[in-house]
Amino acid sequence: MIEEILSLVQKHEQWRGKECLNLIASENLMSTSVRELLSSELGHRYTARDRFYMGTKFIDEIEQYGEKIAREVFKAESADLRPLSGHIADLIFLASFSKPNDTLMCVSPENGGYPGMWKNGLAGLLSLKTVPFPFSKLDMNIEVKEAKEIITRVKPKIVIFGASMITFPHPVNELVKVAWENGGCVGFDGSHVMGLIACEEFQEPLREGASAIFGSTHKTFFGPQGGIILADKHHGEVMKEKIYPVFVDNAHWNRIASLTLALAEMKKFGKAYAEHVISNSKTLAKALNDYGFPIVGKHLGFTKSHQVVLDYGSLYRNNFNKQSRGISEKLQRANIIVDCKIRIGTCEVTRRGMKENEMLKIAELIKRTIIDKEQPGNIKKEIAKLCTEFQKVEYCFES
Ligand SMILES: Cc1ncc(COP(=O)(O)O)c(C=O)c1O
């Protein structure tokens, strides 16, 4: 039994870690030190807010240290590293500032919003009514003028910016005032762009007027899989009161120590990383567009985030279609890993140190796989060679 389990993990590590071009926009790599902390002694331990458990003196310091760096990195008055995932961080925000029958306004899944926030997810769980932001499919963004009108009419109690498909900054600045005037609490789900926000390379929701940023720590961010909340003092305190005892009892301290180190990496190395993520996305998008792929947002320079979005007609549906699925399956046969929408992410390859030349190479490999219909075997060999040259994780203390 043990051999089987270990062998499956080993096979996965060899394939995804050493032989694949990993271009999933929701994924990234941890540095060796951040990864090692996940298996530290902290993973066995309990703490409690009322000091029920003894033996926690260093854990308490880790928590304080982690929150301090998070506040510094995001220039936030309040930080909390306990949420177990981006989804739970979203839940904490929603549940802290809404009650049943309130209205939630956010980007709908049809327009690239996070499905977990919508009717079948958290909004349904909390009995919230949902109102979608009016959305320009051409610009991949919220329509400001129409959104102002709807906010004035509907008066949503909660307004959440951010999305799963996000290539351009959302108009927080432009809409925050009208949301407040109509009694709305404004948040930003930064799950995807957390690392870019941390480095002031995308947008700064807290400075634009959002009361909180919440979401995942492992997409553009350097952390292990998990969640984080950054907020102003008032909203931060309200959520802290709720996190325990409602959403997290024993926090996962190995993950929090690991995330603390990831925050330190972000503070020191994040700027250069985020700049390269964005320039890599632009290079990749342009090269794919030149090969004839249907890239969204050409008139706006394709993208300002880690995402390059291809439109095969499934983009503005709740699900993917046969054509986009077929393309991602073909790419997978050549060891090029993307999702089925199709959304290509440059965060992981950037963290491996890839730059402009490699983006051009990736575009060429995608073109040879999809347009030239070359044998996947040839492509795989070239990818394995490319991966061997980029095995190290960059933008961290050990590099
Ligand atoms: C915008 C957005 N919010 C929240 C989540 C959930 O994050 P997690 O997977 O960390 O629970 C996702 C997941 O992909 C997402 O895209």
Average pLDDT over residues 117-122: 97
At residue 116, what are phi and psi to the nearest 5 degrees?
-65, -15
* Whether residue 318 has pLDDT greater than 70: no
| CA 54 distance to own-chain centroid | 36
Exposure string for 264-297, b = 16+ CB within 10 A, e = fewer: bbbeebbeebbebbbebbbbbbbbbbebebebbb
**What is the number of other CB atoms lying within 10 angstroms of the CB of residue 17?**
13
The C-alpha atoms of residue 111 and residue 167 are separated, in whole angstroms, by 12
What domains, with CATH codes, occur in the chain? 33-263 (3.40.640.10), 270-389 (3.90.1150.10)
pLDDT (tens digit per residue) in 151-187: 999 999 999 999 999 999 999 999 999 999 999 999 9
Average pLDDT over residues 365-389: 97
Nearest CA to ligand 1 atom 16: 164
Q: What is the pLDDT of residue 319?
A: 62
Is residue 186 within 8 A of residue 213, CB to CB? The reply is: no
Q: HSE of 85 in the Cβ direction (CA atoms, 13 Å)?
A: 5
**Where residue 248 falls among pLDDT bands split at 50, 70, 90?**
very high
* Whether residue 356 has pLDDT greater than 80: yes
* Whether residue 334 has pLDDT greater than 70: yes
Ligand 1 neighbours, Cβ below 6 Å, are 26, 85-87, 90, 114, 116, 162-164, 189, 191-192, 215-216, 227
CA of 368 to the centre of ligand 1 (A): 32
Q: What is the mean pLDDT of the chain?
A: 97
End-to-end CA distance of the chain: 37
pLDDT (tens digit per residue) in 24-65: 999 999 999 999 999 999 999 999 988 999 999 999 999 999
- Residue percentage of the chain with pLDDT more than 90: 96
Lowest mean pLDDT among 161-175, 198-212, 213-227, 319-333: 319-333
Q: What is the pLDDT of residue 38?
A: 98
Q: What is the pLDDT of residue 313?
A: 79
Pocket test of ligand 1: the residue of 91, 117, 160, 164 to mutate, having most ligand atoms within 8 Å of its CB, is 164
* Whether residue 315 has pLDDT greater than 80: no
Q: Which of 31, 21, 23, 20 is nearest to 221 (CA)?
A: 31
